[in-house]
């Protein structure tokens, strides 16, 4: 399963509701956890793998695997905090992002049951970051314009160098 990178239009499209929780969706979720773990992430949204549906997963330090289907953030704390974020769709790029310290989210689990949780700490951060993906928003959109532009430029240069290395490698074969 490949992760889409900055520049792919799929990342900028709002996602559609998940209509059915079935074996196909369960298989997708399993593959998403494998992909996220392989890339050493803590969260992954379906749009990042080219699926325009309202689904994201998270796994933080405690090892609990969270699956959020059709999530809706219904509340956030007034207190905000800054924390360095990165994104599997913009690899090796990090910046401090200000977000609410806690969040209340309603969602469906893998059995279709509706749940509501209040999250704090890293889980709250991951929920907000991945929820943004479902809206077509990337973490760099929450930065000042000059900082966002620096990251985009650096990422573009990184991707260009990667393409050049791959082309040289193919020529040697």
Q: How many residues does the chain have?
A: 173
d(CA 134, CA 131): 5
Instruction: Point out the catalytic residue in the list 130, 135, 145, 160.
Output: 130
Q: Are 129 and 87 in contact (CB under 8 A)?
A: yes
Burial string for 110-136 (b: 16+ CB within 10 Å, else e) reads eeeeeeeeebeeebbbbbbbbbbbbeb
Q: Are 71 and 107 in contact (CB under 8 A)?
A: yes
d(CA 121, CA 118): 10
Cβ-Cβ contacts under 8 Å for 25 (sequence gap 6 or more): 18, 55, 69, 110
Q: Are 76 and 53 in contact (CB under 8 A)?
A: no
Q: If DSSP codes are grouped into helix, strand and coil, which group holds residue 68?
A: strand
Does residue 166 carry a catalytic annotation?
Answer: no
Residues recognised as catalytic: 130
């Amino acid at each position: 399963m490949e992760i889409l990178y900055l520049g792919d239009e799929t990342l900028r499209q709002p996602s559609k509701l998940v209509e059915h929780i079935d074996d196909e969706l369960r298989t997708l979720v399993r593959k998403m956890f494998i992909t996220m773990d392989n890339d050493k992430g803590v969260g992954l949204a379906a749009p990042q793998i080219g699926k325009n549906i309202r689904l994201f997963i998270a796994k933080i330090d405690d090892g609990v695997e969270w699956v959020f289907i059709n999530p809706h953030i219904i509340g956030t704390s007034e207190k905000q905090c800054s924390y360095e974020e990165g994104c599997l769709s913009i690899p090796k790029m990090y910046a401090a992002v200000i977000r609410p310290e806690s969040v209340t989210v309603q969602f469906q689990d893998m059995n279709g049951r509706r749940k509501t949780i209040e999250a704090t700490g890293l889980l709250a951060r991951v929920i907000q970051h991945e929820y943004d993906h479902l809206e077509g928003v990337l973490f760099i959109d929450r930065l000042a314009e000059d900082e966002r532009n620096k990251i985009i430029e650096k990422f573009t240069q990184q991707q260009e160098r990667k393409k050049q290395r791959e082309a040289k490698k193919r020529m040697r074969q």
